[in-house]
Amino acid sequence: MTTADLWIALPLILLAVGALLTLLIGAVTRDDTAATAIGVAVTLGAACWLLQTPPLPVAPSLGLSAAGLPRLFSCFFLLLAAGVLCLSSGYNRARGIGGEEYPATVLFATFGMLALASATTLLTLFLGLEAMSFGFYILVAVDLKRATSGETGLKYLLPGALSTAFLAFGIALIYCVSGTLAIHEAVQLTLTSGRPDPIALAGWGCLLAGIAFKLSLAPAHLWTPDVYQGAPAPVVAFLSGGSKGAAILLLLLLLPHAVDASHLRIPLWGVALLSMLVGNLAALLQNRVRRLLAYSSIAQMGYVAVALVSGKGGGYQAAAFYALAYGVISLAAFGAIAVLERQGCGETLDDYRGLGQSKPFASGVLTLALFSLAGIPPTVGFTGKFLIFTSAIRSGEIALAVIGVLLAAISVYYYLKVVITLYSKHTGTADASHPTYPEYSVLILASTAMVLLGLWPDALISLLSHLLP
Amino acid sequence: METYLFYILATVTVIGTILAITEKHPVHAIVYLVTSFFSLASIFFLLSAPLIAMFEVIIYAGAVMVLFMFVIMMLDLGRADEAKRPPLRQWFLPVILGGIILVSIGVLAAGYVTTPHAPGAITVRDFAVTLFRKYGVAVEIISMQLLFAVVGALYLGRRRP
């Protein structure tokens, strides 16, 4: 282990030590504030460390990458985790979710995401994804007082374990053909320009099936509404932004190395179309806000799949941009829902009636996030969708682009339905409870990022086109 | 000879695993799973990876399955009315599968010539160096995973208020 190794592995080490320290703190004091504070400090510190240029692109003896794309996404995951921890402390106190396990598990899930981001071999990639999923299996069922939380956890765990089996088998088949676990060579040897090995294609099929679950692409989307409805709101923000961002990053680490990615066009095309259709049409029928957002997330991941189909025509940059944008939007949307629910809001659409007057701040943030999801300028959602559909048209996927734009237009209806409900008249009791300072700061930062990235996306786009071929 | 053995053992592994999934009685399922682990270990031996074969037997067939058995006994999932000795027809399949594995191991052992340092053979040392040098990070990630599996089990297993 050299200094360069330590330099590159330090964010991972920080997170691991932070998670262990949080667990140990719990043995001394029952106050969760200290554990949350450690978590926020560790994530922000690791994010700051990642901003500097590393001495080498790959750690010499550890095989961890410190290239631009992994560092950008690692920073994003760390900031997201910090935001989620800030939102959780108030929410968990109101819901009676106690214990140091919660912040420790959030740190551990982030550790998994960072391990995935900095992977140079398929093995580390898989283990990182699994570490992250392990964290989420616990976090989804963390609310012991809620009757449905066990059910939610099981609904996430069982398909999750199945998708892991698919992923592991896919990686094994790819290894079987290429004889190497190194990402670059394994992808190059299996997705060659000529007629690829059928075993390699079976491997890629299994891998895509496993990832489709993590991204909740139809037809592997069935867990999404139940988990979005049953899990604590900050956890949903983290799941929706972080776990899906990590799954997109996994594909972005693999697919650009392919000599000829068109072998994967048909399955990706299919799931993209199906996800957009199922997500958008099912969301029209929902009358619970969280389920509506769950189906909307299936549709949004369908748009990402469109970008992945469009690959070399700028699609990879568009997918990376949308992953980051969707993370910020998720944090804002579910952060606002967390604040509203902490103040006693129910889960059906009727419970949100008139909240625009009684709780203007959180409702405003939720409205902005919904505008963003609907793709209304000047928010980041518009820019992301614009990038995706232009890349689709540029690489000749006209049919998919047209269907996507039409379905996005339909989706405006159900997003605006929530906004109209929020700002319609309601003769309810106005209570004077306010968001806490951590909640204010996270929601303001997320909203600012949504608007700024929508108005001036050039910097991020040029950075991404520099990082991705 | 080795090719035939491979196909025979592979069939036994697949049959054992399928029976482990379809079997209703948990203890019987574990016995089938152990059977499939044993034949898998023999396959590893055929692939000239004796170390992995030993690990398969000691860790999976030995430690992990015994732990499973312990948990099932503790939870008392087996129905009391079936505690008596199983009828003869239930012995039939396990005995056949186990017999095949035993004969295969016998055949392997009979034809085995000890070559102390065969060229290209993987020693324990090579294995350890690859595992802890090249894939050291992976070992650390797995250790964190196991820790949090315990943390999660402890947390979620708490008595609900």
- Amino acid symbol at A455: L
Mean pLDDT of B15-21: 91
Give the pLDDT score at B89.
Answer: 75
Q: What are phi and psi of A314, to 5 degrees?
A: 90, 5
- Amino acid symbol at A319: A
Substitution target from B21, B146, B148 for chain A, most A beta carbons within 10 A: B148
Contacts of A466 (CB under 8 A, 6+ apart): A68
pLDDT digits (tens, 9 = 90+) for A235-270: 999 999 999 999 999 999 999 988 888 888 999 999
What is the average pLDDT value for chain B, to the nearest integer? 83
Q: Is the pLDDT of residue A28 over 70?
A: yes
pLDDT band at B3 (very low <50, low <70, confident <90, very high): confident
Q: Is the pLDDT of residue B2 over 80?
A: no
Q: Is A124 within 8 Å of B137 when comparing Cβ atoms?
A: yes
For the record, the structure tokens of A394 come out as 């540029």
Q: Which chain A residue is nearest to residue B159, measuring alpha carbons?
A: A144
In this prediction the ipTM stands at 0.88
**Angstroms from B132 CA to nearest CA on chain A:** 10
Q: Where are the domains of chain B?
A: 2-122, 123-161
Distance, in Å, from the CA atom of A294 to the CA atom of A221, rounded to the nearest integer, reads 10
Considering only the C-alpha atoms of chain B, give the largest distance between any 2 of them, rounded to a whole number of Å.
63
Closest CA to A136 of A116, A114, A160: A160
What residues of A are in the B interface, CB distance below 8 Å?
9, 16, 19, 23, 61-64, 99, 101, 104-105, 108, 111-112, 115, 121, 123-124, 127-128, 130-131, 134-135, 137-138, 141-142, 144-145, 150, 153
- Amino acid symbol at B17: T
Q: Is the pLDDT of residue A79 over 60?
A: yes
Q: Which chain B residue is nearest to residue A133, measuring alpha carbons?
A: B145
Q: Burial level of A182, CB count in 10 A (0-12/13-18/19+)? A: middle
Give A143's Cβ-side CA count (13 Å radius). Answer: 23
pLDDT band at B133 (very low <50, low <70, confident <90, very high): confident
- Total domain count for chain A? 1
Q: CB contact, 8 Å: B129 with chain A?
A: no
Give the pLDDT score at A72.
Answer: 94
For the record, the structure tokens of A30 come out as 């029952």
Cβ neighbours of B160 in A, within 8 Å: 144-145
Q: Is B141 within 8 Å of A105 when comparing Cβ atoms?
A: no
Intra-chain end-to-end CA distance of chain B, in Å: 62
What is the average pLDDT value for chain A, to the nearest integer? 91
Closest CA to A451 of A360, A383, A351: A383
Give the pLDDT score at A349.
Answer: 86
Q: Does residue A343 sit in helix, strand or coil?
A: coil
Architecture of the CATH domain B2-122: Up-down Bundle (1.20)
Give the pLDDT score at B5.
Answer: 86
Structural domain span for residue A79:
3-467
Q: CB contact, 8 Å: B155 with chain A?
A: yes
Q: Is B145 within 8 Å of A153 when comparing Cβ atoms?
A: no
Cβ neighbours of B148 in A, within 8 Å: 19, 104-105, 108, 131, 134-135, 138
Q: Is B137 within 8 Å of A9 when comparing Cβ atoms?
A: yes
Number of cross-chain residue pairs from A and B with Cβ atoms under 8 Å apart? 66
Distance, in Å, from the CA atom of A387 to the CA atom of A406, rounded to the nearest integer, reads 16
Distance, in Å, from the CA atom of A227 to the CA atom of A239, rounded to the nearest integer, reads 10
Are the beta carbons of A40 and A80 closer than 8 angstroms? no
Q: Is the pLDDT of residue B160 over 70?
A: no
Give the pLDDT score at B113.
Answer: 64
pLDDT digits (tens, 9 = 90+) for A148-182: 888 999 999 999 999 999 999 999 999 999 999 99
Q: Is the pLDDT of residue A129 over 80?
A: yes
Of residues B135, B152, B156, nearest to A123 (C-beta): B135
Give CB contacts under 8 A, 24+ apart, made by A266-270: A267/A205, A267/A208, A268/A208, A268/A305, A268/A308, A268/A309, A269/A309, A269/A397, A269/A400
What is the model's pTM?
Answer: 0.91
pLDDT digits (tens, 9 = 90+) for A295-333: 999 999 999 999 999 887 889 999 999 999 999 999 999
Distance, in Å, from the CA atom of A170 to the CA atom of A137, rounded to the nearest integer, reads 22
Cβ neighbours of A150 in B, within 8 Å: 156
Q: Burial level of A235, CB count in 10 A (0-12/13-18/19+)? A: buried
Closest CA to B28 of B89, B99, B103, B104: B89
Distance, in Å, from the CA atom of A191 to the CA atom of A189, rounded to the nearest integer, reads 6
Q: Is the pLDDT of residue A217 over 60?
A: yes
The residue with tokens 């991705």 is A468
pLDDT digits (tens, 9 = 90+) for B48-61: 788 888 899 999 88
Q: Is A105 within 8 Å of B158 when comparing Cβ atoms?
A: no
